[in-house]
Amino acid sequence: MDFNFSEEQTMLRSTVRSFVDKEILPYIAEWDREGQFDPAVMQRLADLGLMGVCIPEEYGGSGMDYNSLAIVCEELERGDTAFRTSVSVHTGLNSMTLLQWGTEEQKQKYLVPQAKGEKVGAYGLTEPGAGSDVASLQSTAIKDGDHYILNGSKSWISLCDTADHFLVFAYTDKEKHHKGISAFIVERNWEGFDSKATKGKLGIRSGNTGEIFFDHVKVPKENLLGEEGEGFKIAMAALDNGRFTVAAGAVGQIRACLEASVKYANERETFGKPIGKHQLVQQMIARMKAGLEMSSLLVYRAGELKNEGTRNTEETSMAKWQACDFANKAADDAVQVHGAYGYSDEYPVERYLRNSKAPVIYEGTREVHTLMQAGYALGYREDKPLNKMLPAWEENKARV
Ligand SMILES: Cc1cc2nc3c(=O)[nH]c(=O)nc-3n(C[C@H](O)[C@H](O)[C@H](O)COP(=O)(O)OP(=O)(O)OC[C@H]3O[C@@H](n4cnc5c(N)ncnc54)[C@H](O)[C@@H]3O)c2cc1C
């Protein structure tokens, strides 16, 4: 596997980095303190072509490879987890799922405007009583002529108040357990749809997260994604892409922790020398560096497998699990390196610590990934190619 970055990828990284330096970092402490989500940032990301980085040009995207998406997520999370989360749900969980499973009509109608950044997509799987245990979801979509009638609610949905299109998972046949779940593309402006933001979050405060509600929403049958009963499989395949973006973001979070800690450790003095000269501080710095390098390699390996069109559930799960754990630990260490100053929002590290917790919970908790990896090691789990795979990058390029 070749982990060297192309000239195009290096330019992409520097574009996103300067965007973050100019458009996010000067304002983020205040946005975070005020719990303010600024949708204009999404518009500026769209103007830079960052809302559809790895979507083929034919479908309105930038046609770059999957590791370019990782670069965008890494650099955005250096600014704040909220913006990387937005790209994760919009591109990773929604647009890439449409690319993989959508009909040509669905791609033209929904994927193209999303990849251009004219419309925003989100992902509605979790419910008040169904998180890790997806099959216990209660939402239903009952066929009625040319429509399905969708009822239920979803909780903890990123971009709940701002997205235009939602991928929603609901039972079309409860008797069949997880094989009775189907996936639908749902528009915000349909009658019976409502949303409400959740207040009082530990982190990602400048992001928009909350509930969405469906009260007899009429979903045209053309908006069924895949076949009836394929919803569980589609939801899990979507997570292969969402988790990849979360892992990449965690790499950016670790880098931000390391950079802030190195700077502080070289400035702050105790006992007549910079704290960076104390071995126990060095241990924390070294742990961040190790986490950064290991996480990067895991992420780029998963990205290369996506580029090749190979199934990568196992490798993506490992990258997501390890990178998020490393990021959470790095943020904890970064606050420790900063001492009491790390405990105030005068420095960014307390925000890193609060933000680093959700990624250990969403898109498969730490425990879910631990169980998955044990399952692979013990021979209880094995992945076969899906009936519709995410297209390899070569295929995407050929579509220009
Ligand atoms: C900021 C944020 C944004 C989110 N955005 C989205 C979104 O856009 N779309 C969406 O659909 N969801 C979203 N989520 C929801 C997220 O995916 C779920 O919270 C997650 O899947 C965990 O589900 P849960 O919270 O119900 O926890 P539970 O599943 O109830 O788990 C509670 C605890 O029990 C543990 N546990 C559960 N089962 C087992 C087991 N079998 N063995 C061992 N331990 C177990 C878990 O690991 C966890 O520690 C978001 C969550 C957050 C915090």
Task: CATH number of the domain at 141, please.
Answer: 2.40.110.10
pLDDT of residue 400: 59
Asked whether residue 181 falls in the same domain as residue 295, the answer is no
Q: Tell which one of 123, 234, 365 to mutate to probe ligand 1, the residue whose CB is within 8 A of the most ligand atoms.
A: 365
pLDDT of residue 2: 73
Asked whether residue 101 falls in the same domain as residue 133, the answer is no
Asked whether residue 177 falls in the same domain as residue 80, the answer is no
Which regions of 54-208 does DSSP assign to beta strands (E)?
121-124, 140-144, 147-158, 165-171, 181-187, 193-197
Q: Name the residue with the closest Cα to ligand 1, atom 38.
A: 132
3 phi and psi, to 5 degrees?
-100, 15
Tokens of 256: 């931000």
Asked whether residue 190 falls in the same domain as residue 254, the answer is no
Q: Tell me the CA–centroid distance for residue 309 and ligand 1, in Å.
A: 28
Q: Could you tell me if 90 and 159 are in contact, meaning their C-beta atoms sit under 8 angstroms apart?
A: yes
Asked whether residue 298 falls in the same domain as residue 261, the answer is yes
Asked whether residue 255 falls in the same domain as residue 373, the answer is yes
Tokens of 164: 């235009």
In this prediction the pTM is: 0.98
Half-sphere exposure of 313 (CA within 13 A, CB side): 21
Asked whether residue 110 falls in the same domain as residue 167, the answer is no
364 conformational bin, left if phi > 0, alpha if psi -120 to 50, beta if neither: left
Where does ligand 1 bind, in terms of residues with CB under 6 Å? 89, 123-126, 131-133, 156-158, 204, 209, 358, 361-363, 365, 367-368, 371
183 phi and psi, to 5 degrees?
-110, 140
pLDDT of residue 343: 98
Q: Could you tell me if 168 and 184 are in contact, meaning their C-beta atoms sit under 8 angstroms apart?
A: yes
Asked whether residue 275 falls in the same domain as residue 372, the answer is yes
CATH number at residue 95: 1.10.540.10
- Of 231, 251, 268, the last residue of a domain is 231
- Of 69, 98, 120, the last residue of a domain is 120
Q: How far is residue 38's CA from residue 206's CA, in Å, rounded to a whole number? A: 8
Which atom of ligand 1 is found nearest the CA of 207? Answer: 1
pLDDT of residue 246: 98
Total tally of structural domains belonging to the chain: 3
Q: Tell me the CA–centroid distance for residue 204 and ligand 1, in Å.
A: 16
Class of residue 84 by CB neighbours under 10 A (exposed 0-12, middle 13-18, buried 19+): buried
308 within some domain: yes
Asked whether residue 58 falls in the same domain as residue 186, the answer is no
Asked whether residue 108 falls in the same domain as residue 141, the answer is no
Q: Could you tell me if 187 and 165 are in contact, meaning their C-beta atoms sit under 8 angstroms apart?
A: yes
Which atom of ligand 1 is found nearest the CA of 126? Answer: 11
How many residues comprise the chain?
Answer: 400
51 within some domain: yes
pLDDT of residue 115: 98
Q: How far is residue 145's CA from residue 151's CA, in Å, rounded to a whole number? A: 16
Question: Helix H segments across 188-338?
Answer: 231-267, 279-308, 313-338
Q: Name the residue with the closest Cα to ligand 1, atom 31.
A: 132
pLDDT of residue 175: 96
Which atom of ligand 1 is found nearest the CA of 366? Answer: 47
Q: Tell me the CA–centroid distance for residue 343 and ligand 1, in Å.
A: 27
Query: Which H or E run contains 123?
Result: strand 121-124
Q: Tell me the CA–centroid distance for residue 362 and ligand 1, in Å.
A: 5
Asked whether residue 186 falls in the same domain as residue 199, the answer is yes
Of 328, 299, 327, the C-alpha closest to 315 is 299
Asked whether residue 255 falls in the same domain as residue 270, the answer is yes
1 within some domain: no
Specify the 3-state DSSP secondary structure of 168.
strand
2 within some domain: no
Q: Which residues of the chain have pLDDT under 70?
A: 399-400
Q: Which domain holds residue 349?
A: 238-399
Averaged confidence pLDDT in the chain = 97
pLDDT of residue 215: 98
Q: How far is residue 171's CA from residue 176's CA, in Å, rounded to a whole number? A: 9
Supply the residues annotated as catalytic: 363
CATH number at residue 368: 1.20.140.10
Q: Tell me the CA–centroid distance for residue 132 and ligand 1, in Å.
A: 5
109 within some domain: yes
- Of 59, 90, 120, the last residue of a domain is 120
